[in-house]
């Protein structure tokens, strides 16, 4: 089944989408409050921890809260899609393939390693070995919660939003572009370079979802991207700044160099997906 076929499942009149978005956010708020209120009232989380200025202040709590917030978004949009559209969770995931997850993760990991080597060659003094702060609890929390966070973003932006735009326009490029602009706009608080990179990444990931009929490859790519930036090489200019990692990178002069390399790497991935059918063929198995 094509991604358009999958998107067409259920009830898709416009008013249902208008109602579903705020309904999903209400469900999300209820879910998060139900989880956080007990631990707050029991003083398991202190107010100053919730007001931490960076992820490095309380890294385990930071990632745990990210996991709760984004798990709530998955739950909220799953319930809203079921109630308003009669769509199942699987309908928004598409032709799921763990092989594609692995391919997306492996290809992007290579790109990240190459980018890091280039940065090190340009500014070796900007790299510091900081593995001493890593603990098994932090690594496990980070892996689990970033898996939830990145899947939530794929589920909402490349799943629910891109499917609705594809149904409305019947044009993959238009659907991908609009969903990418929304995704990029939400990254503006992280700085212009990251917003630009997020917009292009959102565009490529949306096209990949449409091409493969699945969120799988895009999630693998997205997950390894965030995990690498939180555990392997954390940037002093990134949203994960201050968190313990194997290596800390402080190269503010290379922000736009990294952005340019990221755009080139995304173009390479897009080329592999659209031209490399032997490596990445469109998934054709859909859960009944």
Domain around 203: 3-275
Average pLDDT estimate for 139-160: 97
The verdict on residue 73 lying in a domain is yes
Q: Which residues pair with 128 in a beta bridge?
A: 248
Residue with the two structure tokens 């992820």: 55
Per-residue DSSP letters for 224-276? HHHHIIIIIEEETTSTTTTS--SEEE--GGGHHHHHHHHHHHHHHHHHHHHH-
pLDDT of residue 133 exceeding 90: no
The verdict on residue 225 lying in a domain is yes
The verdict on residue 284 lying in a domain is no
| pLDDT of res. 134 | 87
- Pinpoint the alpha helices (H) of 42-170: 47-50, 59-85, 89-93, 98-122, 136-153, 162-169
Average pLDDT estimate for 106-120: 97
Residue 213: φ, ψ to 5°:
70, 25
| pLDDT of res. 236 | 84
Determine how β-strand 247-249 pairs with β-strand 233-235. Answer: parallel
Judge whether 179 and 152 are in contact, CB under 8 Å: no
Average pLDDT estimate for 44-61: 68
CA distance 209 to 163: 9
The verdict on residue 280 lying in a domain is no
The verdict on residue 281 lying in a domain is no
Q: pLDDT for 1-40, tens place per residue? A: 799 999 999 999 999 999 999 999 999 999 999 988 887 7
The verdict on residue 286 lying in a domain is no
CA distance 217 to 190: 25
The verdict on residue 282 lying in a domain is no
Judge whether 247 and 233 are in contact, CB under 8 Å: yes
- As for how many domains the chain has, the answer is 1
Whole-prediction pTM:
0.92
| pLDDT of res. 175 | 96
CA distance 226 to 233: 10
Residue 53 confidence class, pLDDT cut points 50, 70, 90? low
CA distance 72 to 65: 11
The percent of residues in the chain predicted with pLDDT above 90, rounded, is 75
The verdict on residue 113 lying in a domain is yes
Half-sphere exposure (CA, 13 Å, Cβ side) for 233? 16
CB within 8 Å of 23: residues ≥ 6 apart: 76, 79, 80, 83, 84
Q: Mean pLDDT of all residues in the chain?
A: 90
């Amino acid at each position: 089944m094509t991604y358009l076929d999958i998107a067409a499942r259920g009830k898709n009149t416009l008013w249902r989408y208008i109602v579903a978005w705020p309904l999903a956010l209400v469900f999300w708020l209820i879910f998060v409050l139900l989880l956080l209120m007990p631990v707050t009232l029991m003083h398991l989380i202190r107010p100053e921890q919730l007001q931490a200025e960076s992820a490095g202040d309380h890294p385990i709590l930071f990632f745990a809260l990210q996991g709760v917030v984004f798990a709530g978004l998955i739950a909220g949009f799953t319930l809203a899609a079921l109630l308003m559209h009669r769509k199942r969770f699987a309908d928004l995931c598409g032709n799921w393939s763990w092989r594609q997850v692995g391919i997306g993760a492996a290809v992007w990991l290579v790109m990240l390693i190459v980018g890091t080597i280039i940065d090190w060659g340009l500014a070796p003094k900007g790299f510091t070995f900081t593995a001493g702060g890593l603990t098994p609890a932090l690594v496990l929390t980070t892996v689990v919660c970033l898996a939830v966070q990145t899947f939530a973003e794929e589920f909402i932006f490349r799943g629910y939003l891109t499917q609705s735009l594809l149904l409305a326009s019947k044009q993959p490029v238009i659907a991908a572009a609009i969903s990418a602009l929304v995704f990029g706009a939400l990254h503006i608080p992280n700085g212009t370079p990251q917003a630009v990179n997020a917009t292009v990444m959102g565009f490529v990931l949306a096209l990949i979802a449409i091409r493969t009929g699945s969120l799988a490859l895009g999630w693998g790519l997205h997950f390894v991207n965030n995990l690498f930036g939180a555990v392997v090489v954390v940037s002093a200019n990134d949203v994960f700044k201050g968190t313990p990692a194997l290596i800390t990178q402080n190269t503010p002069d290379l922000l736009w160099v990294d952005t340019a390399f990221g755009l080139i790497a995304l173009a390479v991935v897009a080329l592999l997906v659209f031209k490399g059918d032997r490596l990445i063929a469109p998934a054709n198995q859909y859960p009944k």
